[in-house]
Structure 1
Amino acid sequence: MILVTGATGTVGREVVRRLPADLAVRIMARTPGRVTGAAGTAQVVPGDFSDRSSLERALSGVSTVLLVTMPYGDDDARFLRTAFSAGVRRVVKLSAAAVADSRAEDLIARMQRRNEDLLRGSGMEWTLLRPRSFMSNALAWARSVRSDDVVRALYGMSANSCVDPRDVAEVAVRTLTEEGHAGRVYTLTGPEPITAVEQTAQLAEALGRPLRFEELGPDGARTALGSYYPPTVVEALLESAERQRDGAKRDVDTAVPTLLGRPAGTFRGWAKDHRGAFTTD
């Protein structure tokens, strides 16, 4: 049986939509009613990383896990101990591309490295998925695009080889359902580095109306991010943006096309498929 965690998140919800209905699948969620798109044969169970008894119930009879956690806190340590005790054989973990960058010393990168090390030392087979930033991060611009036809972002000319989360989900499904991925690390990127200014132009093309880009300074970005994240995470994200400005996120990896047998999805394609989020209709 395959257990999927993080099933209401950006990647997890795409994974549950793609897992074949003839597989034994269990989905763990804090709020099971928020899980959508799963096959009718899938079990949806309540579970919380901080509640060992709920983890034990969710992991009973499970052989393979997709592990998606917040990159800070002790969720990985608690989950991996319980999974090993339950007899889980393989864990596919969603991590981050920044782990491999020696210049990345922000809180999130450090915690992801720690969590990867915990998995490697867990006694279970492991596969690491390290995506670059998600194209869907552009959804943070939806409100200002709808109201003012404007995209506001930090360092608009810095490039990022961001990845379509649907590609990450397809890779996750392959690593969960196929053999041959144990001990492998996959860095998942889009097909090209792209700047926020270029994304704005492609989003405008998808919407069929002009948009303008406004550069945020660090203080403005700190204020905007502070609406969603605690201060320690905000500072980590600002440090990450500095590395992007220095070119740390430009590199394109071949893992997505190699594993999926097709080119990685483009931001232009993502924007076209999600233009409804940016309209007032």
Structure 2
Amino acid sequence: MSETEAVRSEEPPLLAVIGAGGLCGRYLLDAARRSPFRVRAVVHGPAGRARVAALGADEIVEADLAEPDSVRRAVKDADSVFMIPPAFHPEEDVFAIRALEAAERAGARRFVYLSVLHPHTPGLRHHLRKANAEAAVRGTDLEWTILQPSMFAQIVLSTWGRAPAGQVDVPFDVSHRFSFIDLRELAEVGVKVLSEQGHASATYELAGPTTTPAEALRIAGRARGVQLEARTVDWAKAPLPPGVADDPSRGPDMRAMWQDYDRHGLHGNSNVLRMLLGREPASFAEAAAAFDVP
């Protein structure tokens, strides 16, 4: 054993969280504070650094996922890597595979990839990119786990649940069924599969309880003490959020997602999430009552 390896073996294992500055990453960092890991938060730039500064990471490192050397430096000496790809990025699969290769080169033991529920959905390029990344993860010699979560309850709460009282326009059928996962529980599962034995070579569908966007917004309104009523609007004409509207890849990908939601919703089975948590998953009402971006 080299001197570097000896020192490394005496320290708590190092977890590198790539994408720590996003909504999901911040919940994961919060959960990781109660874990046996030293935590390195990997963010894209100063804005991400500022968002995670108060969340207790042992280190904060900036990395450009488009630069292989930058990614390799970000995961240097990591024992485990948790990869959260940037949402709707046209190269999110490339970035995930780059992070996987960097983890292999760094001598990491574990790699967890955050994918999506139903990644092989035709017509959803951002889902198919995750499916492509999943294929690479399954080919690694590292101990890997893939998490496939349903829609985040906190995305609904932050996107539509903060609207002024009254009618809220939603760009897909608000009567369809959706499974909403509480990000606190996704983060809990993320730390669990990293810190326990028995989760290697596992792909877990993580679907929270099912309800409709119409009911979800009524619940979000009650949590705020206001009345919110969801109204379906044309997905093809609804305004895109800032940073997406003028992007030649992200804009069409988001509209394709809305179109698929308008046809089918997005729902799954909660059995796996219940098994991993050891209890009933949180309801949308519980997520709404506790909603506060960390």
1:189 aligns with one of 207, 210, 223: 207
Please give the alpha-carbon distance, in whole angstroms, between the structure 2 residues aligned to 1:226 and 1:35: 22
After TM superposition, list the pairs within 5 Å mapping 1:73-152 onto structure 2.
73=91, 74-99=94-119, 101=120, 103-138=121-156, 139-142=158-161, 145-146=163-164, 149-152=166-169
Question: CA separation of 1:204/1:237 partners in 2, compared to 1, >3 Å: closer, same or farther?
Answer: same
- The one-letter amino acid paired with 2:20 is A
Give the superposition deviation at 1:96.
0.4
Q: Which residue of 2 aligns with 1:219?
A: 236
Give the superposition deviation at 1:81.
1.9
Please give the alpha-carbon distance, in whole angstroms, between the structure 1 residues aligned to 2:242 and 2:69: 34
Please give the alpha-carbon distance, in whole angstroms, between the structure 1 residues aligned to 2:286 and 2:244: 27
TM-score, normalization by structure 2? 0.83
CA distances 1:163-185 after superposition (whole Å, capped 9, x unpaired): 11111111001011111111001
What stretches of structure 1 move > 4 A for 4+ residues in a row?
Answer: none
Q: Which residue of 2 aligns with 1:14?
A: 27
Q: Which residue of 2 aligns with 1:68?
A: 84
CA RMSD of aligned residues (A): 2.3
Question: CA separation of 1:152/1:83 partners in 2, compared to 1, >3 Å: closer, same or farther?
Answer: same
Please give the alpha-carbon distance, in whole angstroms, between the structure 2 residues aligned to 1:37 and 1:260: 27
| Contact kept? 1:157, 1:197, Cα under 8 Å | yes
Please give the alpha-carbon distance, in whole angstroms, between the structure 1 residues aligned to 2:289 and 2:80: 34
Give the unaligned 5+ runs of structure 1: none
After TM superposition, list the pairs within 5 Å mapping 1:232-271 onto structure 2.
232-247=249-264, 249-271=266-288
Give the superposition deviation at 1:213.
2.5
Instruction: Give percent identity, aligned residues only.
Output: 25
1:4 aligns with one of 17, 39, 52: 17
Give the superposition deviation at 1:259.
0.8
Question: CA separation of 1:120/1:216 partners in 2, compared to 1, >3 Å: closer, same or farther?
Answer: same
Question: CA separation of 1:39/1:265 partners in 2, compared to 1, >3 Å: closer, same or farther?
Answer: same
Deviates more, 1:164-173 or 1:134-143: 134-143
Alignment of 1:38 with 2:51, yes or no, is: no
- The one-letter amino acid paired with 1:210 is Q
| Contact kept? 2:115, 2:134, Cα under 8 Å | yes
CA distances 1:83-142 after superposition (whole Å, capped 9, x unpaired): 21111121000000121x5x4332111111111111122332210000011112221125
Tell me how many residue pairs correspond in the alignment. Answer: 269
- The one-letter amino acid paired with 2:37 is L
CA distances 1:152-201 after superposition (whole Å, capped 9, x unpaired): 1021111111211111111001011111111001111112x211111122
Please give the alpha-carbon distance, in whole angstroms, between the structure 2 residues aligned to 1:83 and 1:238: 34
The structure with the greater share of residues assigned to helix is 1
- The one-letter amino acid paired with 1:58 is A
Give the superposition deviation at 1:38.
3.1
Question: CA separation of 1:194/1:124 partners in 2, compared to 1, >3 Å: closer, same or farther?
Answer: same
Please give the alpha-carbon distance, in whole angstroms, between the structure 1 residues aligned to 2:226 and 2:138: 49
